[in-house]
Structure 1
């Protein structure tokens, strides 16, 4: 047992969220240690990490123009939508440039973290225990697959896997493949199946909206966030749903159900390639599964298909396996947290990254990390003021927006409303906003 004074902060995870958390604590002069169970930084973006959901053709759904860290833009040589190899290189170059490697213990999993009576955290790493004054969990959200159950599933003679086990299109060769779920990874993998399987099918329970990656030659996030203009003489609808409908057309033509929500009421599915494959008959849309029977999958519309391989692209459960689940109140599989960051009653427990929004993540993560640093650096009256906020403040983080009632959207926020909430607190404590100029060591 390490008996030194517990004056340091423990960060669990050296993915993008853990890295920006480390940068914010260092900037605030707060001593810390980072523990990473894998051999290098990068988290899910390294497919050699056990449990990584990465697949060969994975790309960002936000463009390189909006996806970088503060003060560390993605290289101009990168394409609009970088693949995982470039993203992994970029994350590691960020960690090297920011000199974060020296703060990280690799190949070191946090086995357990228990809060002592004096408020400190007893953290077990390997065979060692250490005391910390605060615990920040930044483990990522795509490590614990969510796998549904359907009637007759145990009779199925084919193969059933979660999409987290998928890596290469060669896995589909000469097989009749069913992808279940139309999230971003689901439709990406469905495109691989369309191009490589003997027959491919995509099962969707409800109507989705599929956003094109480019609008008038610009990445869609650049067009929306930076005020892109249509060509002269082209009128663009102000309503986002009408704009997407105009660009994409009637999805029912492809056998898909009509969208059951507005464009801003669900996590965006940024993929128009799937519509290309549907339009060419390389993949067929199917409704939800009704039951399995031997080698056959039956669907709720009465149709059936002989299938060799089913991939459940059905998302992930949030998990903090090194903490007692009873420490949190869970809603829709998500822990209830102030601003999706702070435990409301355990004053030195933080979770970074358990949030969903229609925006690039890395700068938002660092804005969240700055608030953690503010809390940890506060003393006296300021510290008490922050503690009271955690207990009592319940801001509307959705800005009046309505989102689909699903576990995926339980922690969903409207990005601009959320940023404003963070900045209000930051300004109230007299801290400067993060900028490209002030956030880097270079």
Structure 2
């Protein structure tokens, strides 16, 4: 029987989701002694990295596209025994070890989904899927952006199998089939390589060219090279890397890849070292956009045709916050959030993880969770400073593109440059006098968690 909370708990915060973003928020709140509850609809932590989590877009061959040394939570590095680009099972194990090390599990209620979030006065009412209601001072939405598959429509009727990449798990699913992958993002490129190695024939349909970046340059993970090398102005960095890629890869158009219609760095990086190998060996072929379906035949815009058994759309996801959708200002499928987190119209409603960035996400989550936690702490302990930040949330619209003119697409509407984003977070922290993340800052939380475990 559904029950209602006997008395409001306006001092508490609700975190929705126990993936990487939700866990980052939990650690930040715990460090400052802010009471919170955390709800996770699945049976364990890990979010999309858990292949058993219903609806996850993860597949068996998935690896990080950012490297081990640049990808971990702040002050909690991935094990040295991990490879340069960890696989999904390693990332899941690492994420769960993070939750254990900081004692985050006791506050998580598993197998409990949030059905609705409603603003009530200055607080928020959260209704669970069993009808139970709880009152909170603030709500952190951290349920991610890859749960609503986007399926394009093409003219004609296809008599084979049509799927979205969210349903893909194993390369063995392609055995004995002629496969067409639609889309060439990072997942599309990965899955195309699985098809190249297992299908009877493999094709990739793409509408535009992309800059393909190998995962290693000179034996060093590419993002490490970019982060740790000299920070050149964009006008020097772009031609340097363009020349370097041309030297390493040659002219990729000879393998059927269209010439990019945009400059390097103006779209989400496509990091893949295998696709060129399979293109060079003829195990996968590039095709243009689909014009129409004719039975089991796919007709492309250049007039070419292929008989296909499986069409798999690697065409991305629509961003959704279904339990609180009406409280976010959406444009081109992206919410308008200050610093990609703070709701401009509804105080203490946050969207953590609703960001596209040209860098790894875990440490980014930690830096922004730190600001969220200090802002919530100030509301009780330094209200004048919190009021200054309230004004920033409403009026401040910084340019976070780092001088890069990103593609004019829905995906890139919320896109930010990592260096520009971190620099502006630093500016905000300094203006408000908030503490920066420094090595050892979470040590007291870890010590307390380990002491509790030993007890």
TM beyond 0.5? yes
Structure 1 CA distance, aligned partners of 2:50 and 2:73?
A: 18
Structure 2 CA distance, aligned partners of 1:387 and 1:75?
A: 39
SS in 1 for 2:299: strand
Deviates more, 1:179-188 or 1:215-224: 215-224
Deviates more, 1:422-431 or 1:242-251: 242-251
Indicate conservation of the 8 Å contact 1:111/1:322, yes or no. yes
SS in 2 for 1:253: helix
Indicate conservation of the 8 Å contact 2:151/2:313, yes or no. yes
Cross-structure match for 1:425: 428
Structure 1 CA distance, aligned partners of 2:160 and 2:53?
A: 27
Shift of 1:237: 8.3
Structure 1 CA distance, aligned partners of 2:363 and 2:238?
A: 29
Cross-structure match for 2:134: 130
Cα distance change of structure 1 residues 115 and 237 upon mapping to structure 2, 3 Å threshold = closer
Output one character per residue of 1:16-70: Cα deviation in whole Å (capped at 9) or x when no partner: 0000100111112211111000000000000111001110100000110111111
After superposition, residues 68-217 of structure 1 pair within 5 angstroms as 68-116=72-120, 118-125=121-128, 126-152=130-156, 155-217=157-219
Deviates more, 1:237-246 or 1:326-335: 237-246
Structure 1 CA distance, aligned partners of 2:240 and 2:85?
A: 25
Cross-structure match for 1:22: 26
Cross-structure match for 2:220: 218
Name the one with the larger helix percent: 2
Indicate conservation of the 8 Å contact 1:179/1:311, yes or no. yes
SS in 1 for 2:416: coil
After superposition, residues 23-62 of structure 1 pair within 5 angstroms as 23-62=27-66
TM-score scaled by length of structure 1: 0.95
Indicate conservation of the 8 Å contact 1:61/1:81, yes or no. yes
Deviates more, 1:372-381 or 1:106-115: 372-381
SS in 1 for 2:370: helix
Output one character per residue of 1:339-365: Cα deviation in whole Å (capped at 9) or x when no partner: 111111211110000001111110111
Structure 2 CA distance, aligned partners of 1:112 and 1:270?
A: 38
Shift of 1:259: 1.5
Structure 2 CA distance, aligned partners of 1:387 and 1:327?
A: 17
Shift of 1:5: 3.1
User: Structure 1 residue 317 and structure 2 residue 321: aligned?
Assistant: no
Unmatched 5+ stretches in structure 2: 231-236, 448-455
Cross-structure match for 1:400: 403
SS in 2 for 1:22: helix
Output one character per residue of 1:144-197: Cα deviation in whole Å (capped at 9) or x when no partner: 101100111xx2100000000000011001100000000000000000000000
Shift of 1:238: 5.4
Indicate conservation of the 8 Å contact 2:238/2:264, yes or no. no
After superposition, residues 339-418 of structure 1 pair within 5 angstroms as 339-379=339-379, 380-418=383-421
User: Structure 1 residue 435 and structure 2 residue 438: aligned?
Assistant: yes
SS in 2 for 1:378: helix
User: Structure 1 residue 66 and structure 2 residue 70: aligned?
Assistant: yes
Cα distance change of structure 1 residues 122 and 237 upon mapping to structure 2, 3 Å threshold = closer
Deviates more, 1:338-347 or 1:427-436: 427-436
Shift of 1:261: 1.7
Indicate conservation of the 8 Å contact 1:136/1:349, yes or no. yes
SS in 1 for 2:340: coil
SS in 2 for 1:410: helix
Shift of 1:436: 2.9
Structure 2 CA distance, aligned partners of 1:26 and 1:204?
A: 46
Q: What is the total number of aligned residue pairs between the two structures? A: 432
SS in 2 for 1:179: strand
